[in-house]
């Protein structure tokens, strides 16, 4: 079989002819642009690329990609994607979901796709609100959030999506935000290259129902002081000048933000995304209590573990070799497989 070269493409080739229909100013536009501009650089074919989504504003994403895709049912995109990825390992499968879609009705499907380590690229747009259904609180909304469904304020403790993914033993976990295209593309590129379940939380602004939810950490004037970049093998530092503050580990194992000039660079935690034990990455994900304190972004964890689809294929082949391929027609005509006494 002769393999043909992957054709050179542009953003236009990856953009469908459908009118993009999100609210003007929605952060989804910048995420879509980042993905469409990144795809030509990944060395993949459009006909081998699939975008699957559930229900919600983010779920319109497959319409705007000139690839195969499916706008599926609420919360079930990871389950459908699991079936596709395991039966067609030649495909590049992306799951697009929102915080409500993936963490509420779809919570079980998400965590099981992650723990199984199915080769999927899962992008979760987190705007801390239900946008499509007009502003109800979501699983990531903060305590006391006043919405149409919580007029007296939410009593629910919100999920931390990165903590949840790490707790599910996801082998690749990252966080980015819709105000930095270059950073988004780097996280998406890393996710696509990972052989296993890759989960990327994208902090995304809903300018209609939850405007400015992340402004205290992603706003241009505060970003350098409030976003903590994670770089593998380097001390965790941040600040307007690049390294005024850092993250250090306390004797009890907890983490704290310190003044580098006072503590010294040698006292800082060196980030290790390849650490097999997810405990430290989990602690790092809990450093900020909400999007109003210095918040880590980047890759929290990137480890290797057997990929589910490959293991399943090997298991089936092994069973066939031991027992023979069998005859489906003979099986269907074999009569009852049970008896009544």
Per-residue pLDDT tens for 46-102?
999 999 999 999 999 999 999 999 999 999 999 999 999 999 999 999 999 999 999
Are 201 and 264 members of one domain? no
Domain count, the chain: 2
Bin 254: left if φ > 0, else alpha if -120 < ψ < 50, else beta: beta
Structure tokens that stand for 97 in this block: 């979901």
Are 118 and 259 members of one domain? no
Q: How confident is the model at residue 306 (pLDDT cuts 50, 70, 90)?
A: very high
Q: How many CB atoms neighbour CB 317 within 10 A?
A: 10
6 in any annotated domain? no
Are 245 and 121 members of one domain? no
Q: How confident is the model at residue 26 (pLDDT cuts 50, 70, 90)?
A: very high
Q: How far is 35 from 51, CA to CA, in rounded Å?
A: 11
Structure tokens that stand for 132 in this block: 């499509």
282 in any annotated domain? yes
Kindly give, in sequence order, each residue whose CB lies less than 8 Å from that of residue 21, ignoring residues fewer than 6 positions away.
Answer: 60
Are 145 and 203 members of one domain? yes
- Name the CA radius of gyration of the chain, rounded: 22
Q: Which helix (H) or strand (E) holds 306?
A: none
3 in any annotated domain? no
Are 158 and 223 members of one domain? yes
243 in any annotated domain? yes
Are 284 and 249 members of one domain? no
Distances (CA, A) of 198 to 106, 215, 287: 17, 26, 22
pLDDT at residue 336 is higher than 90: no
Are 238 and 134 members of one domain? no
Helix (H, G, I), strand (E, B) or coil at 41: helix
Are 54 and 202 members of one domain? yes
Q: What integer is the mean pLDDT of 254-276?
A: 96
pLDDT digits (tens, 9 = 90+) for 124-163: 999 999 999 999 999 999 999 999 999 999 999 999 999 9
Mean pLDDT of the chain: 94
Are 171 and 247 members of one domain? no
The more confidently predicted of residues 329 and 182 is 182
324 in any annotated domain? no
Of 221, 181, 184, residue with least CA distance to 201: 184
167 in any annotated domain? yes
pLDDT at residue 334 is higher than 90: no
pLDDT digits (tens, 9 = 90+) for 155-204: 999 999 999 999 999 999 999 999 999 999 999 999 999 999 999 999 99
**CATH (domain of 298):** 3.40.50.970
Specify whether the CB–CB gap between 69 and 59 falls below 8 A.
no
198 in any annotated domain? yes
Q: How confident is the model at residue 2 (pLDDT cuts 50, 70, 90)?
A: low
Q: How confident is the model at residue 325 (pLDDT cuts 50, 70, 90)?
A: low
Q: By residue range, what is the domain housing residue 266?
A: 234-270
Percent of the chain with pLDDT over 90: 89
341 in any annotated domain? no
Are 113 and 189 members of one domain? yes
Are 180 and 282 members of one domain? yes
Q: What integer is the mean pLDDT of 228-245?
A: 96
Q: How far is 81 from 272, CA to CA, in rounded Å?
A: 30
Are 165 and 46 members of one domain? yes
Bin 134: left if φ > 0, else alpha if -120 < ψ < 50, else beta: left
């Amino acid at each position: 079989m002769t393999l043909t070269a992957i054709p050179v493409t542009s953003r236009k080739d990856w953009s469908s002819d459908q009118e993009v229909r999100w609210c003007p100013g929605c952060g989804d536009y910048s995420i879509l642009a980042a993905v469409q501009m990144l795809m030509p650089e990944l060395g993949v074919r459009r006909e081998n690329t699939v975008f699957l989504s559930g229900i919600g504003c983010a779920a319109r994403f497959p319409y705007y990609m000139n690839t195969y895709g499916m706008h599926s049912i609420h919360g079930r995109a990871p389950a459908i994607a699991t079936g596709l990825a395991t039966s067609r390992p030649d495909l590049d499968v992306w799951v697009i979901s929102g915080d409500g879609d993936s963490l509420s009705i779809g919570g079980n499907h998400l965590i099981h796709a992650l723990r199984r380590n199915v080769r999927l690229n899962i992008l979760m747009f987190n705007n801390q609100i239900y946008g499509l259904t007009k502003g109800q609180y979501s699983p990531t909304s903060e305590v006391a959030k006043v919405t149409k469904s919580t007029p007296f304020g939410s009593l629910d403790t919100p999920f931390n999506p990165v903590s949840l993914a790490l707790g599910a033993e996801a082998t690749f976990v990252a966080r980015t935000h819709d105000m930095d295209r270059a950073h988004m593309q780097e996280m998406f590129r890393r996710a696509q290259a990972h052989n296993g379940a890759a989960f990327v939380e994208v902090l995304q602004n809903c300018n209609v129902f939850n405007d400015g939810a992340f402004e205290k950490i992603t706003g241009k004037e505060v970003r350098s002081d409030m976003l903590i970049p994670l770089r593998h093998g380097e001390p965790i530092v941040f600040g307007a000048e690049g390294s005024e503050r850092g993250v250090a580990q306390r004797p009890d194992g907890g983490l704290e933000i310190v003044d580098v000039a006072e503590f010294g660079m040698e006292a800082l935690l060196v980030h290790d995304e390849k650490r097999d034990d997810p405990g430290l990455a989990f602690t790092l994900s809990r450093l900020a209590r909400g999007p109003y304190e210095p918040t880590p972004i980047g890759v929290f964890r990137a480890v290797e573990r057997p990929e589910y689809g490959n293991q399943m294929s090997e298991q089936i082949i092994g069973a066939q070799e031991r027992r023979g391929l069998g005859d489906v027609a003979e099986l269907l005509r074999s009569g009852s497989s049970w008896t009544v006494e």
